[in-house]
Structure 1
Amino acid sequence: MDGNDMGGGKCPVMHGSLTTTETSVLAWWPQALNFDILHQHDTKVQPFGKDFSYRDEVKKLDFDQLQKDIHALVTDSQDWWPADWGSYAGLFIRLAWHSAGSYRLADGRGGGGAGNIRFAPLNSWPDNANLDKARRLLWPIKKKYGNKISWADLILLAGNAAYEVSGLKTFGFGFGREDIWHPEKDTYWGSEKEWLTDDEHRYPDKDDRTSLENPLSAVVMGLIYVNPEGVNGKPDPAMTAKDVRETFKRMAMDDEETAALTAGGHTIGKGHGNADASKLSPAPEGGSIEAMGLGWLNPKGKGFGRDTLTGGPEGAWTSDPTKWDGGYFEMLLDHEWETTKSPAGAWQWKPVDIKEEDMPADVEDASIRTMPMMTDADMAMKVDPVYRSYMEKFRDDHQYFSDTFARAWFKLTHRDMGPKARYIGPWVPEEDLVWQDPVPAGSISYDVDAVKQKIADSGLSIGEMVSTAWDSARTYRGSDMRGGANGARIRLAPQKDWAGNEPARLQKVLSVLEPIASASGASVADVIVLAGNVGVEQAAKAAGIDVTVPFSPGRGDATDEMTDAESFETMEPLVDGYRNWIKESYAVKPEEILLDHTQLLGLTAPEMTVLVGGMRVIGTNHGGSAHGVFTDKVGALTTDFFVNLTDMSNTWNPTSQDGIYEVRDRKSGKTKWTATRLDLVFGSSSILRAYAEVYAQDDNKEKFVKDFVAAWTKVMNADRFDI
């Protein structure tokens, strides 16, 4: 063989072009629209096949035996990674906490509901150092119970079990989290290119800690919450309190819940900053192949016990770090504290004076006492007057503290699961909690056809009916299963006043639909959706195609008391590409926000395309705008949007108004229509144009209506976890 043959050493693989995540077909054109966010959890990466249902499998679990096995593991010290003080409680609590704690309210992404801590970047974040060991410790249990327990459920259940073994009566637990099988690489964690830093985008005003860029909640790239050393690594508890408050608020926690979580989280376990962390091996995602997916390996000493090294602060917070007690409050409030540095070089706090018997024991030798510590976030609990008031209240009433923490922990670990209807298992609490967005069951016994006829005879236009139904349903997001049409919260604060919902038009439509609902025994939620279906059927008929839109009754109507209005504020749509509306100009292109919204709705690129094209010609644009309405038959569900979008007799020209374009006849120069970027992108993007051309073909008029109805029904039923 010569040098050109494989035997001569020429590699048969195209280096980097297909095997790394840094290159892609579109890398040459960075301004091109990236559709990865819509394809990141394609069914091809799921190993179980289309007929597998985790929600069915998990119901087969021996729940009691599983709990016994995890409880035993908490105190079962294994040779390769022995537990501190003979307990893995702190490690498993941290694993569960950091899995769930990446949740943020703004877009519902992050959190422990999909087991995404198994993948980059979360599996290799500096703040998650050594949590790879915790998951490996759980592997024998995962192996034993197999498909009946997801990693997402098991990781959070391990944290629950760790608290129970330590002495806390937990609030409960719900199973039902389905694993993902690919990194959520398009979740926005910040624009920084280096761990543990923040750039000018994260905090436009460094002194205003509420200026943290949306949808982020962590203060720097690579941390779950705040910097334990202080703001920008400088001890200042009063300033850190501002970061704590803002970060936990963005996780949907109030001040009392935040105080309870801080105290309860630091009641168990310790920090491991007993040496220079730069000596550790790379994180899991960057490790050598023989590391077999483990990272942060310590080359010195045993690598565990006293030699366990994570980096950052060193020491325990309480005298008895494996016991659920009030020791945190005694340690924090009964001592004066001064700054010091850990052996790893991290700022932390130590008591000015402490008796030896009040110190925590060494993790390997109970006869040796070690210095306790507090982070700057702990000191914030002492310095901030609001947080301190809760610390004192918790100290005086341990049962109240335990109950408050148990509820906050339950919220932390279940916040992204959606309504309680999705919870499975024997430990689901009976109590309905307002943050679960409860919705009462609706009637299924009314005459659907009679209601549809009343709606059809009501005088409402097709555009009014379809727009209202869409606005009611479009708030759904698959990230945390919140929002949607069920509950009819569009008629409640804050949604009834959102600019995107056109309050005047909304109230007009509701004034017609609510009496129909009352007279028929149907819920307002059902009638709103039915009105949208009636509008779609009328639009299809106007295009010469008879169709019946599928409908499942049973939605209920929520009340103000069932609605956490403050948490819904963050869900207000600021751009809706489907209704061709932008509240104001943003740094992000509107078409990129359209893709983000589409992903949250659980739609594909073809489904997005057919819905946009159909809603334009139906006449659902916000405020009655004519932009993108490329038809002279408004109200008919025709393919005109796509036909005229791809018509080569048209030219597309920018106007003096930013983001607005004119569509002119190529020969005469006469303006035919106007359009926005949210219209032109379906002709300019090679991917979207390919879909648009399908619906512009002469032979796909019926296919277009069929596909529109299917996508429409998918959105209307997105939050129907009961069907």
Structure 2
Amino acid sequence: MNDKKNASGKCPVMHGGATESSMTNMEWWPKALNLDILHQHDSKTNPMTANFNYREAVKNLDIAALNKDLHALMTDSQDWWPADWGHYGGLMIRMTWHAAGTYRIADGRGGAATGNQRFTPINSWPDNANLDKARRLLWPIKKKYGNQLSWADLIAYAGTIAYASMGLKTFGFAFGREDIWHPEKDTYWGAEKEWLAPSGSENSRYSGERDLENPLASVMMGLIYVNPEGVDGKPDPLKTAHDIRVTFERMAMNDEETVALTAGGHTVGKCHGNGDASILGREPEAADISEQGTGWNNKTKRGIGRDTVTSGIEGAWTTNPTQWDNGYFSMLLKHEWELQKSPAGAWQWQPVDIKEEDKPVDVEDPTVRTMPIMTDADMAMKMDPAYREITERFANDAEYFSDVFARAWFKLTHRDMGPKVRYLGSEVPQEDLIWQDPVPAGMTDYDVESVKEKIAASGLSVSDMVATAWDSARTYRDSDKRGGANGARIRLAPQKDWQGNEPARLNKVLTTLEGIAASSGVSIADVIVLAGNVGIEKAAKAAGVEVTVPFAPGRGDATDELTDVDSFEVLEPLHDAYRNWLKGDYKVSAEELMLDRTQLMGLTAHEMTVLIGGMRMLGTNHSGTKHGVFTENEGVLSNDYFVNLTDMSYKWQPVGDNLYEIRDRKSDKVKWTATRVDLIFGSNSILRAYSEVYAQDDNKEKFVHDFISAWSKVMNADRFDLA
């Protein structure tokens, strides 16, 4: 065999399938609809057994022992990556912060809840330089506690313990974050083609004066927050203040929380820029295989301890960088500051005049004092009028600052975990917080059938019942576990006035359902979902299929006092393919918007397919339009949508950007109208394959049962009490 191989000069392995030289389908056909976003985190990527449940396993975790081990780790400096001042607190806090800080409110994506910092692109972002070292320092602890401790929980907990070890009274901590097992490659982090591209570059995330593209929160590709040297690397604290305010608002933080997090994050630790950044090795994903998943390594000089280069800025913010105190404010407010360049060439602010005893000591030699620094973001806390007022308040009340910071840190590290019912462990705070979207518990012990009878006799149409239940539930986002039908916030501001919810129609339906809820003594949240089920059962019966849609009672009703109106504004739907509606014209195609919403609801491609077809047959289109209603029997849960979509006796002609006519090939008469999200189920090869399944003569009942299964998944998506 060796002789034959050498003679031919060819390798016996077929190349291309798993290398960068291979053209992907999307490269061959760039305009094709990419369904990969719906196929993320397939069970085949998970190495655990099918019956493994992390949220059950973590209940057996010895939290006290873990707490003790993490405290010990903080001061157990290791030669291969020595701790600054003998304490890893600053490094661990930065790791946690940069995991949680990717969260953004617009779509709920990012955050620390999945352990995604282990994977591309986040593990190799320039702003995350050397955080690979923090995770390797944690590996012995992860190894010890095994399946009872996820990386996601450990990454979030390490920073919290770091603060506690340096003197902060923390607010609490909750376990329960479940790891993913491959990159979230379809999360949109920006359109730039290079790291740290300035705002005027190609595919910039900015337009107008300084308008940041939604849903993004960070100012540059590869940064977590703002550029510490200033806007596009040009120091100007007031311009940086604008960027900070936008970025932190998109992380769900107000001005006070923003100042607290900035000051609290810079009360401990330091920046690293005491060396030549150009001699650093590549990031983890581009590093040589011998680096074993680490990156930014310096092989020509020492590159550790006082010679570490990370951000390029060099120095600590406070006199005592391993101690929780109010020193940040003293340093910032009591000195005048001037611009200087670090040894690595980065812009930073240094005090004009400072006493020797107020300088921090060197990270390796306590007999040597070093110059403290501030970033442009720190100077914004001093120079922006609103931030300055808060900064002075904190400076004058250390206890108040510590409390605000502890709460803001808890919010930062838990915002993407969803409601409090998902919190696990002995350190969960008792206090209910408005940003947790609290919902009172509902009744579970009542006569469901009698309520269904009242709904059936109410005179509401199938379309009204189903559309209202759908609108109530469709706000759910699996990204941060917000929204959903529990709480019935569809009847409260701001949801009751959203255009996508058809306020006039909604008010009529809710008036009827609220009367039924009051007379039955049950929550309106349960009644709304039950009404949708009643409508589906009626429509299925009309199609010749007797079914009972599964129902789990127990939803509660939220109140105005338990609802943060501003935070719910970001959940407003601007489109809904399931009800064939677009609020406006968008650069992104209707079918791509459909995929984004589908993925946020946690649905698969075939669940999306069957729901679209069923919703059309039930007549739930927004404003009663007939686009995509491919049937003569609207209100009947038949498979007509798929039968007629795949029928080649029709032809399809565009009559607008998002409107098509379906004409009879023989008579040329218009039979139906449709939108792009209808025709994509016939044109896309994958979606057509699903459509053909439901169009088959022998799958009429399968269609009904699959629709009900997907429907129930949406209705119960936020029922974490059922897990």
Provide the residue aligned with 1:610 in structure 2: 610
Which structure 2 segments of 5+ residues have no match? Answer: none
1:231 is paired with a residue whose SS is coil
- CA root-mean-square deviation: 1.2
Say which is worse superposed, 18-27 or 603-612, in terms of deviation.
18-27
Aligned twin of 1:665: 664
Alpha-carbon contact 2:104-2:216 (below 8 Å) kept: yes
Aligned residue runs from structure 1 range 463-478, under 5 A: 463-478=463-478
Q: Give the secondary structure class of the aligned counterpart of 2:721.
A: coil
- Map 1:6-85 → 2, pairs under 5 A: 9-20=9-20, 23-85=23-85
Q: Specify the alignment match of 1:90 in structure 2.
A: 90
Deviation for aligned residue 1:20: 4.1
**Counterpart residue number, 2:700:** 701
Aligned residue for 2:553?
553
Shift of 1:206: 5.1
State the secondary structure of the residue aligned to 2:673: strand
2:209 maps to which of 207, 210, 214: 207
CA distance in 2, matches of 1:4, 1:499: 71
Corresponding residue for residue 681 of structure 1: 680
Residue equivalent to 1:353 = 353
Distance 1:180 1:6 in 2: 43
* CA offset digits 1:386-417 (Å, max 9, x no partner): 11111111111100000000000000000000
Are the counterparts in 1 of residues 192 and 202 from structure 2 also a CA contact under 8 Å?
Answer: no
SS of 1:718's partner is: coil
Report deviation, 1:308. 1.5
Deviation at 1:207, TM superposition (A): 2.5
Q: Distance in 1 between matches of 2:569 and 2:4?
A: 63
Structure 2 vs 1, CA of residues 664 and 41 (structure 1 numbering), >3 Å: closer, same or farther?
Answer: same
Provide the C-alpha distance between the structure 1 equivalents of 2:12 and 2:275, rounded to a whole number of angstroms: 44
Match of residue 495 from structure 2: 495
Counterpart amino acid of 1:91? L
The amino acid of 2:83's aligned partner reads A
Aligned partners of 2:609 and 2:687 also within 8 Å? yes
Residue of structure 2 in register with 1:362 after alignment? 362
Q: Deviations over 1:283-304 (max 9, x none)?
A: 0011100000000001243321
Which residue number in structure 2 is paired with residue 307 of structure 1?
Answer: 307
Residues 575-602 of structure 1 deviation map (CA, whole Å, 9 limit, x = unaligned): 1010000001100011011011111111
What is the CA distance between 1:572 and its match in structure 2?
A: 0.8
- Whole-Å separation in 2 of the counterparts to 1:688 and 1:149: 38
| Structure-to-structure mapping, 1:325-404, within 5 angstroms | 325-404=325-404
Q: Assess if the C-alpha contact under 8 Å between 1:91 and 1:131 holds in 2.
A: yes
Match of 2:637 in 1: 637
- d(CA) in 2 for partners of 1:550 and 1:102? 37
Secondary structure at the residue paired with 1:584? Answer: coil
Q: Tell me the residue number matched to 2:720.
A: 721
Deviation at 1:12, TM superposition (A): 3.2
Q: Contact between 1:3 and 1:9, CA under 8 Å: does it hold in 2?
A: no
Match of 1:652, SS state, is strand
Residue 416 (1) aligns with residue 416 (2): yes
How far apart are the structure 1 equivalents of 2:11 and 2:42? 30
Distance 1:21 1:616 in 2: 43
Matches of 1:526 and 1:647, distance apart in 2: 40
Q: Verify: 1:162 aligned to 2:192, yes or no.
A: no
SS in 2 for 1:662: strand
Structure 1 match to 2:257: 257
Q: Aligned letter for 1:205?
A: S
Query: Deviation string for 1:314-365 (max 9, x for gaps)?
Result: 1000011000001100000000001111111111100111111111100000
Q: SS at 1:370's partner residue?
A: coil
Amino acid at match of 2:398: H
- 1:191-270 map, 5 Å: 191-197=191-197, 198=199, 199=201, 201-205=203-207, 207-208=209-210, 211-270=211-270
Q: Quick one: distance in 2 between partners of 1:596 and 1:161? A: 36
Code of the residue aligned with 2:81 in structure 1: it is W
User: What SS does structure 2 have at the residue aligned with 1:551?
Assistant: coil
Distance 1:333 1:674 in 2: 66
Asked whether the 8 Å contact 1:6–1:12 carries over to 2, the reply is no
Contact 1:276–1:311, Cα closer than 8 Å, also in 2: no
Contact preservation (8 Å) 1:283, 1:294 = yes
After TM superposition, give the deviation of residue 202 of structure 1 in Å: 4.1
Q: Distance in 2 between matches of 1:722 and 1:20?
A: 45
List aligned pairs for 1:185-196, cutoff 5 A. Answer: 185-196=185-196
Q: Which 4+ residue blocks in structure 1 deviate beyond 6 angstroms?
A: none
**AA aligned opposite 2:439:** V
1:621 corresponds to which residue?
621
Deviation at 1:218, TM superposition (A): 0.2
Q: Secondary structure at the match of 1:428?
A: coil
CA distance in 2 between counterparts of 1:7 and 1:118 reads 44
TM-score with structure 1 setting the length: 0.98
TM-score of the two chains, using structure 2 as the length reference: 0.98
Q: Equivalent residue of 2:141, what SS?
A: helix
Which residue of structure 2 aligns with residue 101 of structure 1?
A: 101
Report the secondary structure of 1:143's partner residue: helix
What pairs with 1:173-184 in structure 2 (closer than 5 Å)?
173-184=173-184
Q: Give matches, 1:534-545, under 5 Å.
A: 534-545=534-545
Q: Residue 287 of structure 2 contacts residue 294 of structure 2 at CA under 8 Å; is this kept in 1? A: yes
CA-to-partner distance for each residue in 1:533-583, whole Å, 9 max, x for gaps?
001101101111110000000000001111111111111111101000000
Deviates more, 1:420-429 or 1:515-524: 515-524
Offset at residue 306 of structure 1 (A): 1.1
Determine if contact 1:17/1:24 at 8 Å carries over to the other structure: no
Give the secondary-structure state (helix, strand or coil) at the position aligned to 1:348: strand
CA distance in 2 between counterparts of 1:27 and 1:498 reads: 39
Report deviation, 1:11.
2.5
* CA positional deviation for 1:203: 4.1
